Amino acid sequence: MKTLQFKNGDTMPAIGLGTWKSKEGEVYRAVMEALRIGYRHIDCAAIYGNEAEIGQAFKDAMESGIVKREDLWVTSKLWNNAHRREQVVPALQKTLQDLSLDYLDLYIIHWPVALREGVGFPSSAEDFLSLDEVPLSETWEGMEQCVDQGLARHIGVSNFSMEKLSNLLETARIHPEMNQVEMHPYLQQNVLLNYCKNVNIHITAYSPLGSSDRPVHLVKSDDPVLLQDATIASIAEKHSCTPAQVLLSWGVIRGTSVIPKSVSPERLRQNLEAVAVELDEDDMAQIAELDRHFRYVNGSTWAREGAYYTTTAQLWDE
């Protein structure tokens, strides 16, 4: 498996398993199967509501000798309602308890958005906290405590623009090592990718397959369907592989990690095997043409009148 290298010598497998939208009752089997066939990178988050079930899979897989803790890379994410400095370590402790682990490989701030304690998703502007009141630099101090206490080996962020990363770098004592963002041929984000390379921040690409099972409020009838793209289909045919494998191989070739979600044994295997698909320069040039800056996860949940961000353009700094 190709890996992303970290300064302290740690390596993150380039293809991981995404668990967003993997339902309780399904995710245990998916994670067990993934570990059994060789996945060694699992991407989790407290807000997905399935960490306890994933933890059971980790426990069973380790007890039965399928995987050793030190061979596994586990990422999880701090939810928006625990952004105050003193809330971060307790939030991670809860995640660790759910995941049956005593440390994470990577802990990241899920969104540059702060919600009041106890709020899962906002129902009104009142549910938000201003980032002037709880700045991301304060949340980052809580993240640094996670490293100080040995609860996380690496820390990072998710859904951060270049501007937000650059602000964070000004105050960070511990360097952020990851930005997890939506990334696929319709949202290539070359400028962000290059910026991150220059400042030694890795990228994990979420929704690498176009997230066709995203929640209905994020679906519009005229949204393009990445897995049905004609160019991707023709490249898949040329390599005798599937469109999903082309999309994942593209992400790996660009030096990012990709975290396709699946609960199907056949697709889990297919996605892991994408690492063997070798796209050539012509394929990459054709895929470069597909960029249309289209977000499947557009951030609209976090922008509204009276909240810290009133538009998604402010959230993404675009």
Residues sharing a CB contact under 8 Å with residue 85, sequence separation 6 or more, in sequence order: 138, 139, 141, 142, 145
Residue of 111, 115, 107, 190 lying closest to 155 (CA atoms): 107
Site residues for ligand A2P, 21-50, by CB under 6 A, read none
Q: Which of 48, 107, 195, 308 is catalytic?
A: 48
Q: Where are the beta strands (DSSP E) in 167-287?
A: 178-182, 202-206, 257-258
Q: Which is nearer to ligand A2P, 263 or 307 (CB)?
A: 263
Decide if 268 contacts 34 (C-beta within 8 A).
yes
Site residues for ligand A2P, 144-183, by CB under 6 A, read none
Q: In sequence order, what are the beta bridge partners of 128?
A: 115
Residue of 78, 145, 73 lying closest to 105 (CA atoms): 73
Q: Does 237 bind ligand A2P (CB under 6 A)?
A: no
Q: Does 187 bind ligand A2P (CB under 6 A)?
A: no
48 in active site = yes
Q: Which of 75, 207, 249, 257 binds ligand A2P (CB under 6 A)?
A: 207
Q: Does 239 bind ligand A2P (CB under 6 A)?
A: no
Q: Which of 54, 108, 109, 209 binds ligand A2P (CB under 6 A)?
A: 209
Q: Which of 62, 119, 174, 227 binds ligand A2P (CB under 6 A)?
A: 227
Q: Where are the beta strands (DSSP E) in the chain?
A: 3-5, 11-13, 17-18, 41-43, 73-78, 104-109, 114-115, 128-129, 152-158, 178-182, 202-206, 257-258
Q: Which of 89, 129, 244, 246 binds ligand A2P (CB under 6 A)?
A: 244
Q: Where are the beta strands (DSSP E) in 199-290?
A: 202-206, 257-258
Site residues for ligand A2P, 254-273, by CB under 6 A, read 260-264, 267, 270-271
Nearest distance from C-beta of residue 32 to ligand A2P, angstroms: 15
Nearest distance from C-beta of residue 267 to ligand A2P, angstroms: 4
Q: Annotated catalytic sites, by residue?
A: 48
Query: Site residues (CB under 6 A) for ligand A2P?
Result: 18, 207-213, 227, 242, 244, 260-264, 267, 270-271
